[in-house]
Structure 1
């Protein structure tokens, strides 16, 4: 339906000026799009938005679509339609980066969209996804060289950038809170609670030979070493390895924990326990068999694997696994969120490992992301001082809000999984 424009308190902000065409070529320039394609995109979008619990204004003083709810202003409808008509959800994100649309409560708007994702595109167009959706670029495959480049593009941005919005543990994964709403001061304890649950799940204690795949900035390695474990942690991020090594030394655990710049496929040895926190999302579907085969190869008899993994519904994963997304283009190149069923299928077909327990806690990730997003927004001037321009800041804000909305809507979940072979499955 179309609502009265006089009842919607929206004001326009000018589209972001000065987008660097060398750094952001696809944001600085509107894509070439035929009038017909733009018109079709506009018609599809108007139809979708009209039925959603939103208040979406098309241009300053223009009509407002939706049935009521969070407000969103599409300041430049023509540019918005061209981008979405040409590049789908990638264009949707690039339009936000360019300042062509905005919302007072971005997460609320994105949560509505995520909750109605199957309704946004008409069924006939969904069945023709292979004709209009962009395919993942082959240069972003997670080969040994490709994985190194993909990790570098995100995790080597700047340790100082991540320190601006993470808590003092520098833990970049979902925390586990005691209750909601969570406060920022509770985040370090909530991150330690998450880490301790994983270490307990893997049975890590005195003398445990522990392999950590995906170091982060070293907090889990330090906590495991303090339990008496002997920790080998591997990462492909040079920046993370540098700081994690320093933090391990500062904690006095350098004799118990080491960090290696190494791909999981290159790890050798035998370990009583393996822990990997939100690493599988970076592996890519093509390499899931390789990843789980490596876990099976490296795990000693009677050992246990503890994973923390972001997951999505199997049918959505299967429908979109070959689609190139805005998140892959700008935030996590080469990544793909698996389903729990995909994990179990891969384990059954390629390893002797089986899932013996699964604990989901998606709402905790929504709260974690909210705290990160609020901190990032508060520290915008500090982000700019590090050399990150306005387009980057809008991109990162959209990434955090987009992710938060995924968990708030239930489109995404996060879980801790215990994997074991038959002899340790009890």
Structure 2
């Protein structure tokens, strides 16, 4: 597979500018827009500078502006501003997208990137004054129309990320090739009632961080934790011998394999050609091809098949559905679920108020990693299912701390595999994009701004 390279800008490190290589697998990144000179840029940069410094002054971080050595913040993880004027200009013109892009160009850096990002992530809703928050809709870029998760667009959105290279993902994932939060420990405590509480609400005990002596390798418990995650979902869905299972979002086939080993028959659908090919090969190698069928299919096409299933499972796929199509997604789950069946989802979520505030906008993650993605809240999942289906959320295991640990390990291994990533044809800019993506995501979960839950749904009459 050859990926078109259209990124021509450069980024700089402390050692000066570095031009991206022209490797055959270089990701087709959107071009970093040059900073347009003029009054608008100057004014927005000045406003951004004041807001940034005011926000940092309240945070437990240290920001060092070069070349003056001026230090901002209350002390904590260190951010170094190599080119402050560029950061403020990009932040002023493009908000948080510009903040991330200034990292890509090397305008700023942080040795402990995830540690630094965790601090502002914890207070993201209050970093900007309320009066300016209300202007968000006027200054935040809107999601491009061709990224909306329609049937016509979804295949390209999925391919942009998941069809990069199976070899790339194998470099930082564990042997199960599970690209979703692991569950390091099934012990949990009951959660209190309140916003976001639905059904039986449990919170997983936070895991203890551990590391393999060789950063290129995972500790042995990662594969076990991924298997534990999958097995709990299958248990919640009631998958046993003879169960008819539908999986929406195949990944690289691990869940389908584990379900088939229980004696289930599995129909799993995906929009990723690369994942489909490797999943089929892994399923065949396991000797379970007779129990599992893998199909290149949009979830919306399931309605026309007329098939029903005793269990529906889906791991971190709802994030790609798009808020306009949540109703469609859950109505289809309702339609294909046989009487007495259960649904088990693993879903990344965000607070309901932040979901409402950011709906329809474009983020750095959308632009550089996941086109069309948008995170629901647990409340909106509960609301949509109550209003548009016979399904009800009857159980929730909240496990955000486990995702923070999963991402920490992925990022550590990804960075340690730098030479191998470059050997695949990706370039230094790709390394910087993906390090920021993994660290940015880790910070979201570590701060509690993002969460991930296993949600169990059943019909109200059950």
* TM > 0.5: yes
Tell me the distance in 2 between the aligned counterparts of 1:43 and 1:384.
Answer: 39
Superposition pairs of residues 17-32 of structure 1, within 5 angstroms:
17-19=18-20, 24=29, 26-27=31-32, 29-32=34-37
Does structure 1 residue 170 correspond to structure 2 residue 170?
no
Verify the 8 A CA contact 2:125 2:354 in the aligned structure 1: no
Counterpart of 1:144 (choices 113, 130, 151) is: 151
Task: Tell me the equivalent position of 1:229.
Answer: 264
Does structure 1 residue 215 correspond to structure 2 residue 274?
no
Bigger mean CA offset, 179-188 vs 203-212: 179-188
Verify the 8 A CA contact 2:64 2:79 in the aligned structure 1: yes
Task: Tell me the equivalent position of 2:126.
Answer: 119
Tell me the distance in 2 between the aligned counterparts of 1:348 and 1:119.
Answer: 32
Per the TM alignment, residue 165 of structure 1 is displaced from its structure 2 partner at its CA by 0.2
Secondary structure, aligned partner of 2:18: coil
Verify the 8 A CA contact 2:237 2:313 in the aligned structure 1: yes
The CA deviation string for residues 175-220 of structure 1, in whole angstroms up to 9 with x for no partner, is 0113412442210000000000000000001010000000000000
Q: Any gaps of 5 or more consecutive residues in structure 1?
A: 1-11
Tell me the distance in 2 between the aligned counterparts of 1:16 and 1:373.
Answer: 24
Does structure 1 residue 85 correspond to structure 2 residue 120?
no
Per the TM alignment, residue 60 of structure 1 is displaced from its structure 2 partner at its CA by 2.8
Tell me the distance in 2 between the aligned counterparts of 1:19 and 1:288.
Answer: 39
Verify the 8 A CA contact 1:212 1:274 in the aligned structure 2: yes
Task: Tell me the equivalent position of 2:137.
Answer: 130
Higher RCO by CA contacts (8 Å cutoff, separation 6 or greater): 2
Task: Tell me the equivalent position of 2:75.
Answer: 68
Does structure 1 residue 259 correspond to structure 2 residue 294?
yes
| Alignment CA distance shift 1:270-1:70 (3 Å) | same
Superposition pairs of residues 317-332 of structure 1, within 5 angstroms:
317-332=355-370
Secondary structure, aligned partner of 2:396: strand
Bigger mean CA offset, 282-291 vs 58-67: 58-67
Superposition pairs of residues 3-18 of structure 1, within 5 angstroms:
13-14=14-15, 16-18=17-19
Task: Tell me the equivalent position of 2:57.
Answer: 50
Secondary structure, aligned partner of 2:289: coil
Secondary structure, aligned partner of 2:346: strand
Secondary structure, aligned partner of 1:245: helix
Per the TM alignment, residue 24 of structure 1 is displaced from its structure 2 partner at its CA by 4.8
Task: Tell me the equivalent position of 1:7.
Answer: none
Q: Any gaps of 5 or more consecutive residues in structure 2?
A: 1-12, 186-206, 212-218
User: When the two structures are aligned, how many residues end up with a matched partner?
Assistant: 413
Verify the 8 A CA contact 1:20 1:28 in the aligned structure 2: no
The CA deviation string for residues 357-415 of structure 1, in whole angstroms up to 9 with x for no partner, is 11101101111001100000100111111111111111100000011011110001111
Superposition pairs of residues 294-305 of structure 1, within 5 angstroms:
294-305=332-343
Query: What's the RMSD between the two structures over aligned residues?
Result: 1.5
Does structure 1 residue 370 correspond to structure 2 residue 408?
yes
| Alignment CA distance shift 1:15-1:420 (3 Å) | farther
Tell me the distance in 1 between the aligned counterparts of 2:16 and 2:290.
Answer: 53
Q: Which has the higher helix share?
A: 1
Tell me the distance in 2 between the aligned counterparts of 1:245 and 1:23.
Answer: 27
Task: Tell me the equivalent position of 2:201.
Answer: none
Secondary structure, aligned partner of 1:423: coil
State the 4+ residue runs in structure 1 displaced beyond 4 angstroms: 19-25
TM-score (structure 1 length as normaliser): 0.94
